[in-house]
């Protein structure tokens, strides 16, 4: 029977904190959880959630996933805990390590997440920072694998802001050898250090393409992926970004340039008529809600490995 393997790295702060083999193992576990072929009991283990940003899918999927594993979740709202009053991260991390078995953190600065991991004696999971969203990428590639069975010859095109989601897709693409194309307006490219790291990992450097032309980026693509143009915390940039991203909307015209078997992904929430049209969002090519469901199964698999 398939069993969770303990991960070599204690924490999951980045997509690169797991190996290629560990990535595929997590995906296989996730599929078994999804199809109810695997039942793991973690004996009342406790997951602590620290969310400095709003969340629907990440929060609920972690809570439900932990519950299905026989564990419990404590939601630590910064506004109702000492975290919000400025308690040092190193103190919070050391205290929570005495109460929780694993901690998932959603925060703004990636450096804060690293600081938590430095002081925590228990595994820390990146539930989203301004740099990466690795849990989302696990669900994304699970969805792609379900659709195309493997990643051979799959072309993934992300259109929009070179944000944390784009960064994680790039790193996972490098890890798995998947062709990833990012199309964004000038000045909104993904993190330069992420791009550099990906090029160091890719055996074929041509599999990563960064451009400012969505029309060429979708040619021959099997997966069209987008996200909101203005991430949480960028509300003051919304008007400017809406203008800059004109022409980067996934519509039927753009979709027609992709492969006939192309699917649509979006990590949600979606703003119709901005990054994607309602017509494309509601089309038969939509795998967005499968993708959202897969957050639960992928994170359940991740938790079972971190706590194996």
Q: Which of 156, 223, 158 is nearest to 184 (CA)?
A: 158
The answer to pTM > 0.85 is yes
172 catalytic per annotation? no
Q: What is the pLDDT of residue 232?
A: 79
Residue 224 DSSP label: E
Residue 26 has pLDDT above 80, yes or no: yes
Active site residue 133: yes
Query: pLDDT by residue (tens digit) across 149-185?
Result: 999 999 999 999 999 999 999 999 999 999 999 999 9
Cα 59 to Cα 62: distance, rounded to the nearest angstrom: 5
Say which DSSP state 80 is in. G
Instruction: Name the active-site residue from 295, 297, 299, 305.
Output: 295
Assign 235 a pLDDT band (cuts: 50, 70, 90).
confident
Q: Which residues pair with 62 in a beta bridge?
A: none
98 catalytic, yes or no?
A: no
Q: Which of 3.40.50.300, 3.40.50.1370, 1.10.10.10, 3.30.420.40 is the CATH number of 15-132+295-306?
A: 3.40.50.1370
pLDDT of res. 36: 96
Instruction: For residue 68, indicate whether it is catalytic.
Output: no
Note every long-range contact of 113-119, with CB atoms under 8 Å and residues 24 or more positions apart, other chains counting: 113/13, 114/13, 115/89, 115/90, 116/50, 116/89, 116/92, 117/11, 117/13, 117/93, 118/90, 118/93, 119/89, 119/90, 119/93, 119/94
Contact indicator for 264, 281 with CB cutoff of 8 Å: yes
Q: Which of 161, 227, 297, 305 is catalytic?
A: 227
Q: Strand 208-211: give its sheet, edge to edge.
A: 208-211, 179-183, 155-159, 223-226, 263-266
Look up 136 and say whether it is catalytic.
Answer: yes
> Is residue 59 over pLDDT 90?
yes
Percentage of residues in the chain with pLDDT exceeding 90? 92
Residue of 25, 57, 100, 136 marked active site: 136
Q: Are strands 72-76 and 46-51 parallel, antiparallel or unpaired?
A: parallel
- What are the structural domain ranges in the chain? 15-132+295-306, 138-291
- Provide the CATH topology of domain 138-291: Rossmann fold (3.40.50)
Equal CATH topology for 15-132+295-306 and 138-291: yes
Cα separations in angstroms, 143 against 30, 206, 276, 281:
11, 24, 19, 16
Q: Read off the pLDDT of residues 185-231 as tens digits, 9 standing for 90 and up.
A: 999 999 999 999 999 999 999 999 999 999 999 999 999 999 999 98
With 0-12 CB in 10 A as exposed, 13-18 as middle and 19+ as buried, what is 187? exposed
Q: What's the Cα-to-Cα distance from 168 to each of 179, 182, 205, 273, rounded to whole Å?
A: 14, 12, 17, 25
- Contact partners, residue 58, CB within 8 Å, separation at least 6: 51, 104, 106, 127, 128, 135, 136, 295
Question: For residue 103, what pLDDT band results from cuts at 50, 70 and 90?
Answer: very high
Beta bridge partners of 73: 47
Find the catalytic residue in 100, 135, 172, 267.
267
Write the DSSP assignment of 185-209 as a string of letters.
-TT-PPPHHHHHHHHHH-SSGGGEE
Is 267 tagged catalytic? yes
């Amino acid at each position: 029977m398939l069993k969770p393997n303990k991960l070599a790295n204690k924490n999951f702060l980045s997509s690169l904190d797991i190996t290629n083999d560990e990535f595929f193992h997590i995906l296989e576990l996730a599929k078994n959880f999804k199809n109810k072929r695997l039942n793991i009991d973690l004996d009342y283990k406790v997951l602590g959630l620290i969310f400095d940003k709003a969340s629907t899918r990440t929060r609920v999927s972690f809570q439900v996933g932990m519950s299905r594993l026989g564990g419990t979740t404590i939601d630590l709202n910064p506004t109702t805990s000492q975290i919000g009053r400025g308690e040092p991260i190193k103190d919070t991390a050391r205290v929570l390590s005495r109460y929780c078995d694993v901690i998932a953190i959603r925060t703004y600065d990636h450096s804060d997440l690293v600081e938590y991991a430095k002081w925590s004696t228990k595994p820390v999971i990146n539930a989203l920072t301004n740099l990466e969203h690795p849990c989302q990428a696990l669900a994304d590639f699970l969805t792609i694998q379900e659709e195309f069975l493997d990643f051979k010859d799959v072309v993934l095109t992300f259109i929009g802001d070179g944000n944390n989601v784009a960064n994680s897709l790039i790193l996972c693409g490098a890890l798995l050898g998947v062709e990833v194309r990012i199309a964004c307006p000038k000045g909104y490219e993904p993190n330069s250090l992420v791009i550099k790291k990906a090029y160091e990992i890719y055996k074929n450097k041509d599999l990563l393409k960064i451009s400012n032309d969505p029309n060429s980026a979708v040619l021959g693509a099997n997966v069209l992926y987008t996200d909101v143009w203005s991430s949480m915390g960028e509300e003051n940039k919304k008007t400017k970004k809406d203008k800059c991203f004109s022409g980067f909307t996934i519509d039927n015209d753009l979709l027609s340039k992709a492969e006939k078997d192309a699917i649509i992904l979006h990590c949600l929430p979606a703003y119709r008529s901005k990054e994607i049209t309602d017509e494309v969002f509601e089309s038969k090519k939509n795998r967005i809600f499968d993708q959202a469901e897969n957050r639960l199964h992928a994170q359940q698999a991740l938790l079972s490995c971190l706590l194996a």
